[in-house]
């Protein structure tokens, strides 16, 4: 059993006190990771964190040993679902366990994760389980069962020192995926085969550095002018298209190691890049660097840093290719809903916030696709002006031999 992340538990306790709740009841995997240090590995799992810092995990019986080894839970309560033909109904069994938790810990008023973020790929078998039926029963279990989605999202936004260390481990897995991308991207390979090599590298990272489990969202590979010009949209999955000389090739890579996420983009050119491609790449990297340099902890807003990056790309002559914001929160999930680096975002960045920095450029001329390019890195915002740790500080050039 790992020791508790005492900073994380203290922050949870403070949020509970501020909202006058006796406990958080957490169902979704990213929230359970935050509260227990453990990726649940199964549906029908819940974590209860009380105002006095006690952590209870409720899980199916076959997960008991795993939960005891991987979480810092003070109590692990299981139920006998799927043990032969005993007829145990899992939702009812979970409600029974929550009622027992209510009585054991004296819980009357609880906050729970009522809503899920809109963009989060499955990362567990059969994970598209929203716990809606259990959530509707909570008012019958507790005197008050409040929607705590906003409070939970606010907690997740600022990572602790231990959580950042776990993210560093995740980014070593991401490095393996990026190295596979650069190592196999070449003329003639199909997008889908390149994606398979990236996915293979991620999965084979299990066992390195103590990592127990990795998951790679199907790597999104786009190649050629037509496909990279629309790579600012969602879900551009790899196809049977073969890479050709002169093609820009973009990888969107989302993965996690033991529940801690990375979200990386790299762009490669098959053969020597053109002058325009090189200048676009320089503008994108300059936009990242100047956004970091402009950062002031507790003062810089998401809008201000986004505008800094956009102005850099305009100054380089590529303003017409700007189509999306600069970044988003991440770490417990592929995309977290805060902080956002984009227009209208008045919230300030704080030390411990983790976001993407993903300036991109995408061009059409009178309806004809001219291609697109993006570089996405993940950063931990620091205590000092201009201070940010780039977690993904590895290969980002337009070719394997040209790495800025």
- The Cα–Cα gap between 132 and 144 comes to 17
The DSSP string of 210-240 is G---EEE---EEEEHHHHHTTTTSS-----S
Residues 132 and 243 in one domain: no
Q: What is the largest CA-CA distance in the chain?
A: 69
Q: CB-based contacts of 119: which residues, under 8 Å, 6+ apart?
A: 234, 334, 335
pLDDT of residue 82: 81
Given a contact cutoff of 8 angstroms between Cβ atoms, the answer to whether 281 and 244 are in contact is no
Please calculate the CA angle 311-273-243 and round it to the nearest 5 degrees.
115
Tell me, yes or no, whether 398 lies in a domain: no
Tell me, yes or no, whether 396 lies in a domain: no
Residues 272 and 301 in one domain: yes
Residues 195 and 299 in one domain: yes
Residue 148, φ and ψ in degrees, nearest 5: -105, 20
Tell me, yes or no, whether 345 lies in a domain: yes
Given CA atoms 94, 99, 102, 107 in this order, what sign does their dihedral have?
positive
Residues 131 and 203 in one domain: no
CATH number reported for the structural domain that contains residue 96 in this entry: 3.40.350.10
Residues 216 and 137 in one domain: no
pLDDT of residue 42: 86
Residues 291 and 306 in one domain: yes
Of 306, 376, 307, which Cα lies nearest the Cα of 335?
376
Residues 315 and 334 in one domain: yes
Q: Hey, which residues does 380 pair with through a beta bridge?
A: 354, 389
Residue that finishes a domain, picked among 121, 138, 156:
156
Which residue is associated with the tokens 């009380």?
A: 50
Residues 106 and 172 in one domain: no
Residue 75, φ and ψ in degrees, nearest 5: -135, 145
Tell me, yes or no, whether 29 lies in a domain: yes
Given a contact cutoff of 8 angstroms between Cβ atoms, the answer to whether 364 and 268 are in contact is no
From first to last of its 404 residues, what are the pLDDT tens digits of the chain?
899 999 999 999 999 999 999 999 999 999 999 999 999 988 899 999 999 999 999 999 999 999 999 999 999 999 998 877 777 899 999 999 999 999 999 999 999 999 876 566 555 544 557 788 999 999 999 999 999 999 999 999 999 999 999 999 999 999 999 999 999 999 999 999 999 999 999 999 999 999 999 999 999 999 999 999 998 887 789 999 999 999 999 999 999 999 999 999 999 999 999 999 999 999 999 999 999 999 999 999 999 999 999 999 999 999 999 999 999 999 999 999 999 999 999 999 999 999 999 999 999 999 999 999 999 999 999 999 999 999 999 999 999 876 65
Tell me, yes or no, whether 401 lies in a domain: no
Residue that finishes a domain, picked among 102, 137, 156:
156
End-to-end CA distance of the chain: 41
Number of folded domains that form the chain: 2
Can you give the residue range of the structural domain that contains 120?
Answer: 6-156
- The Cα–Cα gap between 369 and 222 comes to 13
Tell me, yes or no, whether 321 lies in a domain: yes
| Phi-psi map region of 352: left, alpha, beta (phi>0 left; psi -120 to 50 alpha) | left
- Model pTM score: 0.95
Residues 182 and 140 in one domain: no
pLDDT of residue 222: 97
Report the relative pairing of strands 75-79 and 55-60 from DSSP bridges. parallel
pLDDT of residue 317: 98
CATH number reported for the structural domain that contains residue 363 in this entry: 3.90.230.10
Tell me, yes or no, whether 237 lies in a domain: yes
Q: Hey, which residues does 365 pair with through a beta bridge?
A: 368
Q: CB-based contacts of 354: which residues, under 8 Å, 6+ apart?
A: 159, 164, 167, 329, 330, 331, 378, 379, 380, 381, 391
Residues 207 and 309 in one domain: yes
Residues 325 and 190 in one domain: yes
- The Cα–Cα gap between 156 and 336 comes to 8
Tell me, yes or no, whether 1 lies in a domain: no
Helices (H), 229-380: 275-294, 302-315
Residues 204 and 84 in one domain: no
pLDDT of residue 126: 44
pLDDT of residue 277: 97
DSSP state of 402: B
Residue that finishes a domain, picked among 156, 177, 203:
156
pLDDT of residue 362: 97
């Amino acid at each position: 059993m790992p020791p508790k992340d005492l900073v994380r538990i203290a922050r949870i306790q403070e949020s509970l006190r501020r909202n006058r709740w006796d406990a958080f009841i957490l169902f979704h995997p990213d929230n359970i990771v935050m509260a227990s240090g453990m990726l649940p590995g199964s549906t029908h799992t819940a974590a209860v964190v009380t105002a006095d810092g006690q952590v209870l995990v409720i899980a199916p019986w076959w997960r008991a040993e795993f939960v005891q080894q991987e979480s810092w839970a003070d109590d692990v309560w299981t139920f006998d679902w799927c043990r032969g033909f005993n007829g145990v109904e899992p939702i009812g069994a979970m409600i029974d366990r929550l009622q027992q938790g209510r009585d054991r810990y004296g819980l009357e008023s609880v906050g729970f994760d009522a809503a899920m973020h809109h963009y989060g790929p499955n990362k567990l078998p059969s994970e598209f389980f929203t716990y809606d039926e259990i959530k509707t029963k909570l008012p019958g279990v507790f005197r008050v069962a409040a929607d705590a989605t906003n409070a939970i999202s606010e907690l997740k936004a600022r990572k602790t020192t231990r959580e950042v260390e776990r993210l560093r481990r995740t980014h070593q897995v991401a490095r393996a995926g990026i190295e596979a991308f650069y190592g196999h991207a070449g003329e003639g390979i199909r997008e889908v085969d390149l994606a398979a090599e990236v996915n293979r590298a991620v999965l084979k990272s299990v066992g390195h550095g103590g990592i127990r489990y990795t998951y790679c969202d199907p790597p999104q590979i786009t190649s050629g002018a037509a496909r990279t010009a629309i790579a600012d949209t969602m879900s551009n999955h790899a196809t049977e298209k073969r890479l050709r000389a002169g093609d820009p090739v973009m990888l969107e890579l989302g993965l996690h190691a033991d529940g801690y996420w990375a979200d990386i983009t790299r762009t490669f050119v098959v053969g020597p890049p053109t002058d325009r491609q090189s200048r676009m790449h320089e503008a994108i990297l300059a936009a990242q660097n100047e956004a970091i340099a402009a950062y002031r902890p507790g003062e810089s807003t998401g809008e201000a840093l986004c505008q800094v990056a956009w102005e850099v790309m305009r100054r380089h002559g590529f303003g017409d290719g700007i189509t999306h914001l600069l970044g988003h929160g991440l770490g417990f999930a592929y995309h977290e809903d805060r902080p956002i680096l984009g227009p209208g975002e008045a919230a300030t960045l704080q030390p411990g916030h983790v976001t993407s920095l993903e300036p991109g450029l995408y061009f059409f001329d009178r309806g004809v696709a001219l291609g697109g390019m993006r570089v996405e890195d993940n950063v931990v915002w620091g205590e000092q002006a201009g201070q940010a740790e780039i977690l993904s500080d590895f290969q980002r050039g337009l070719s394997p031999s040209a790495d800025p």
